[in-house]
Amino acid sequence: MAKYAIVVNGRVTNIVQWDGTGNVFESNTVIELTDSVTANIGDAVASGVVYEKPTDGFEYTFNDTSLSWELTAAGQSAKTSTEIAAATTTKTALLESAQSTISLWQSELLLGTISDSDKSLLTNWIAYIKQLQAIDTTSLPVTWPAVPGVSD
């Protein structure tokens, strides 16, 4: 018994265990699966070659001309929404981290006890925070500013 991919209209519709004999699947294309030939339901098949469908959760369609999977309009919209949400989360986390980093320096500045080196670092970090605040997370891809170096 071996595993076979059942292909209907260029798409894998089922994976079965079969001894390979008889005309059980005569109206379909059947591809024997091996260690080097794998398939999953939904994969595309063209000229005996299996094209693995992306599994990132977005909607794709197979382009039979270019032999590649392409995001549909709905898939692209969902992917963009996911990327915007991730960028917004990253921006928030970076801003919170930066604010936490400068907190002590701000107190020292108010008390007049900040060293010149920490004052310079505070200035750099405030510039970094302003760069982060200016980022439009709906304009992808996002280019994040470099985090200022902190010396001990």
CB 30 within 8 A of CB 5: yes
For 95-109, what is the mean pLDDT? 96
Answer for the pair 120, 105: CB distance below 8 angstroms, yes or no. no
Percent of the chain at pLDDT exceeding 70: 98
Determine the Cα–Cα distance for residues 84 and 88; give it in Å rounded to an integer. Answer: 6
Q: In the prediction, which pLDDT does 22 show?
A: 85
12 pLDDT above the threshold of 80? yes
Q: What's the whole-number average pLDDT of the chain?
A: 94
Cα gap 131→94, rounded to integer Å:
11
pLDDT at 99: 97
Q: How far apart are CA 130 and CA 117, in angstroms?
A: 20
pLDDT, position 23: 81
pLDDT at 14 over 50: yes
**Single-letter amino acid, residue 79:** K
How confident is the model over 62-80, as pLDDT tens digits?
999 999 999 999 999 999 9
Over residues 6-25, mean pLDDT? 91
**Which residue type sits at 54?**
P
